[in-house]
Amino acid sequence: MEKTYNHKNVEGKIYENWEKKGYFKPEINPDGKPYCIILPPPNANGALHFGHAMFTVEDILIRYHRMKGFQALWLPGADHAGIETQFVFEKKLKAEGKSRLDFDRETLYGMIYKYVEEHRGGIENQLKRLGFSLDWSREKYTLDSDIVKLVHKTFKRMYDEGLVYRDFRLVNYCTFDGTSFSDLELIHEEKERPLYYIKYGPLTLATTRPETKFGDTAVAVHPTDLRYKKYVGKEIEIETVLGKAKIKVIADESVDKNFGTGVVKITPSHDFNDFEVGKRHNLEMKQVIGFDGKMNDYAGKFKGLYVKEARRAVVEEMKKKGLIEKIDEKYITRLSLCYKCKNVLEPLPLEQWFIKVKPLAEQAIKAVRDGKIKITPSNFENIYFQWLENLRDWNISRQIVWGIRIPAWKSKKTGKWVITEGEEPKGQEWEQDTDTFDTWFSSGQWPFVTLMSNSSSKSDFEKFYPTSVMETGYDLLRAWVSRMVMLGLFITGDVPFKHVLFHGLVNDPYGKKMSKSKGNVVNPLELIDKYGADSVRFALVYGNATGNDQSLSYQKLEAARKFANKLWNMARFIEMKRKDVILNEVKDLDSSATPQNDILEIAQHKNDIVMIKKTKQLTSEITNHLDSYSFNYAAEKLYEFTWHEFADKYIEDVKNRIDEDSYLILTALYLILLKLLHPFMPFITEEIYQRFSPEKSIMIKSWPE
């Protein structure tokens, strides 16, 4: 053996061998109980980042269970990542001087599809570099035709059961990206925005958005506000930038008497609150801002101006006409921004498909309350409950082409909608909805659609559903995990997973969130090159409690690398002593004839007996830690024991009194350590193991007892 461990000579070769032998397939343990984790599908177009590297936790669980003899399935997949990917592609188009509007739907979709296909293998190879024991033969993609079919089916069934409806209402619309977003996909930002006090005939009201005044269809006051009681129910005459007009005064509970003047303009087409007020009072909807972000006919001479320009122009005009009483320049308002392009989102009225979430959320809450799903760390349960309890209906229509097109068809004759499982309805002329599903609508079905669509093994769904654990970053609790619970329960009648396990984020060495814009992103692949995958994995797990964020630590990586080297040299010592003590050639040092109990029988020396006991104790500790998802405890304990108990004390002791028996005991105990370490550091442990026990793999039914 070489004097130091060199991961570069080992990792690629080992992984290739594992795959070739089919070790990652659950079928290698045909008699075992099923154990299944579905990999959170990375963006097919993306690159490896630390969120993915944290999936190490899943590999630890899978390897541990596989070693224990479970039929362990870790199912990989990739997500088309709708708006995310289309956004990247449009940027590319822009760089080439083109735009999405230059292409028809099919062409654009085809181009993005091809573009993604070119990148898709990348992320998969990167996951392999981390040593992940994923069953690649079962890999799925959200745009696979069988997945799409199942997603369509879900939508149809929800529609048939009254959970899907089409409605005309305000959506958060990005006029730059040309699509609406769900409530989750917004960034809220506080900004200084002038608050204008505008004269409306005899009244004065405060607003940050004077340019929407063309869409006002009422002015509202609080029902108990004595100041304005005499106006309620009447029409008042007002002077506007476009001349004289009349407007109704209404009374509504939602008005805050203490804000501004206690008078609000009601613009049902451009404000969420006003939309509700408008509904209550049967107000007319006047849309004055178009989906292109420009003012339309209602704005008179301001037509064609972008919202920002229009605001400036309107304010100027009002000032001239003496319609502005005062301006509070320091007013702080909260804006909703597009999470992709950071522009201000416009609430615009649009017909969309919505999912009635209440009945689904109730079931999802119940599943956790009843303990059918456990969440670790448990404090995330509160966030889960809180969100589901206050959930509003889910807008699932996206006005982009990159995604699964909604199987809804509108009759050209009657204008009525028909939902199918994907095929065009017959009989008359139909027009398909041009929108696609919110990405989370398909990924929210991931656990059951992946298992159902794996035709290679028809019983995957029966066997592995509900899956054992869903492990992911806590940032996906709402967008993804809660949706999986809701949709999984709805379609299958059972929870999609029994346990949710959250890991934290990996920040940069200074504790700052890694982001491209800050330029502090570290590519895990570089670290794998430098320290080896085992060390990266170990460093991510060691010294960090489950679910907590951590800062990338080069010291920790270095420590893990040294640990790997230590492990290597322990093996080297054993290898070197082999010839000295063993007279007859022993090929397989891990012969099943020397499990712990048998060693105990040949053990005579007091120190050997003690060490055997200690190792046994260690084994049960590690087993317990893994069963309770305390990966950091397990890693720390293994590190401590291997180095400071086993190497520093025991090997030093045996060194001076080595004979055939003590050698066999030492080797057997060392092999136990290797096995306990294998889920954490798969490459080096397998490499060493195969040197001691050729033709075998450390990962098959080898967990020590």
Partner RNA sequence: GAGUCCGUAGCUCAGCGGUAGAGCGUUGCAUUCACAUUGCAAAUGUCGGAGGUUCAAAUCCUCCCGGGCUCACCA
Binding positions for RNA, 375-434, rule CB under 7 A: 379, 382-383, 386-387, 392
- DSSP secondary-structure letter at 220? E
The count of other CB atoms within 10 Å of the CB of residue 96 is 7
**Given the rule CB under 7 A, which of 140-148, 248-256, 410-418, 516-524 is the region that contacts RNA?**
248-256
Site string for RNA, 661-680 (x = CB under 7 A): --------------------
Please tell me whether residue 402 adopts helix, strand or coil conformation.
coil
**Could you say whether residue 633 binds RNA (CB under 7 A)?**
yes
| Residue of the chain from 458, 655, 659, 705 that contacts RNA (CB under 7 A) | 655
**Could you say whether residue 551 binds RNA (CB under 7 A)?**
yes
Q: What are the Cα distances from residue 441, in Å, to 164, 307, 395, 438, 602?
A: 12, 32, 10, 5, 61
The DSSP H or E segment spanning 58 is helix 56-67
**Could you say whether residue 513 binds RNA (CB under 7 A)?**
yes
Q: Residue 89 Cβ, how far from RNA at the closest point, in Å?
A: 25
Residue 193 Ramachandran class (φ > 0 left, ψ -120 to 50 alpha, else beta): beta
Q: Residue 282 Cβ, how far from RNA at the closest point, in Å?
A: 19
Please tell me whether residue 330 adopts helix, strand or coil conformation.
coil
Q: How far apart are the first and last CA of the chain?
A: 29
**Given the rule CB under 7 A, which of 120-128, 266-274, 360-368, 596-604 is the region that contacts RNA?**
266-274
| Residue of the chain from 398, 572, 675, 678 that contacts RNA (CB under 7 A) | 572
Gyration radius of the chain's alpha carbons: 32
| Residue of the chain from 559, 586, 602, 609 that contacts RNA (CB under 7 A) | 559
| Residue of the chain from 111, 186, 236, 242 that contacts RNA (CB under 7 A) | 186
**Could you say whether residue 648 binds RNA (CB under 7 A)?**
yes
Q: Residue 45 Cβ, how far from RNA at the closest point, in Å?
A: 22
Q: Residue 28 Cβ, how far from RNA at the closest point, in Å?
A: 33
**Given the rule CB under 7 A, which of 92-100, 127-135, 284-292, 563-571 is the region that contacts RNA?**
563-571
Choice between 332 and 583, CB closer to RNA: 332
| Residue of the chain from 59, 211, 271, 686 that contacts RNA (CB under 7 A) | 271
**Could you say whether residue 545 binds RNA (CB under 7 A)?**
yes
**Given the rule CB under 7 A, which of 268-276, 299-307, 313-321, 352-360 is the region that contacts RNA?**
268-276
| Residue of the chain from 644, 659, 694, 705 that contacts RNA (CB under 7 A) | 644
Binding positions for RNA, 450-489, rule CB under 7 A: 475, 478
**Given the rule CB under 7 A, which of 63-71, 110-118, 360-368, 505-513 is the region that contacts RNA?**
505-513
> b/e per residue, 287-314, with b = 16+ CB within 10 A?
bbbbbebbbbebbeebeebebeebbebb
Specify the amino acid at residue 480.
W
**Could you say whether residue 206 binds RNA (CB under 7 A)?**
yes
| Residue of the chain from 566, 637, 691, 696 that contacts RNA (CB under 7 A) | 566
**Given the rule CB under 7 A, which of 186-194, 458-466, 583-591, 697-705 is the region that contacts RNA?**
186-194
Do 133 and 18 meet the contact criterion of CB atoms below 8 Å apart?
yes
Q: Residue 271 Cβ, how far from RNA at the closest point, in Å?
A: 6
Specify the amino acid at residue 682.
P
| Residue of the chain from 397, 453, 544, 702 that contacts RNA (CB under 7 A) | 544
Specify the amino acid at residue 699.
M
Choice between 185 and 435, CB closer to RNA: 185
Token pair of 648 as six digits: 């520093």
Choice between 17 and 548, CB closer to RNA: 548
Binding positions for RNA, 334-363, rule CB under 7 A: 334
| Residue of the chain from 457, 520, 553, 690 that contacts RNA (CB under 7 A) | 553
Q: Residue 586 Cβ, how far from RNA at the closest point, in Å?
A: 19
Please tell me whether residue 597 adopts helix, strand or coil conformation.
helix
Q: Which residue has the tokens 């966030």?
A: 383
Residue 511 Ramachandran class (φ > 0 left, ψ -120 to 50 alpha, else beta): left
Residue 62 Ramachandran class (φ > 0 left, ψ -120 to 50 alpha, else beta): alpha
| Residue of the chain from 543, 605, 607, 658 that contacts RNA (CB under 7 A) | 543
Q: Residue 501 Cβ, how far from RNA at the closest point, in Å?
A: 15
| Residue of the chain from 256, 284, 316, 351 that contacts RNA (CB under 7 A) | 256
| Residue of the chain from 84, 276, 421, 621 that contacts RNA (CB under 7 A) | 276
- DSSP secondary-structure letter at 301? G
Q: Residue 571 Cβ, how far from RNA at the closest point, in Å?
A: 8
**Given the rule CB under 7 A, which of 358-366, 414-422, 436-444, 570-578 is the region that contacts RNA?**
570-578
Do 347 and 288 meet the contact criterion of CB atoms below 8 Å apart?
no
Token pair of 309 as six digits: 């320009």
Partner residues linked to 497 by β-bridges: 467
Partner residues linked to 72 by β-bridges: 35
| Residue of the chain from 632, 661, 690, 691 that contacts RNA (CB under 7 A) | 632
> b/e per residue, 423-459, with b = 16+ CB within 10 A?
eeeeeeebeebebbbbbbbbbbbbbbbbbbbbeebee
Choice between 566 and 691, CB closer to RNA: 566
Choice between 287 and 569, CB closer to RNA: 569
| Residue of the chain from 288, 481, 647, 668 that contacts RNA (CB under 7 A) | 647
**Could you say whether residue 330 binds RNA (CB under 7 A)?**
no
The residue count for binding RNA (CB under 7 A) is 72
What are the backbone angles phi and psi of residue 256, rounded to the nearest 5°?
A: -95, 120
Do 56 and 473 meet the contact criterion of CB atoms below 8 Å apart?
no
* Cα four-point dihedral sign 254, 260, 262, 266: negative
The count of other CB atoms within 10 Å of the CB of residue 494 is 14
Token pair of 598 as six digits: 């048998």
Q: Which residue has the tokens 């045996």?
A: 654
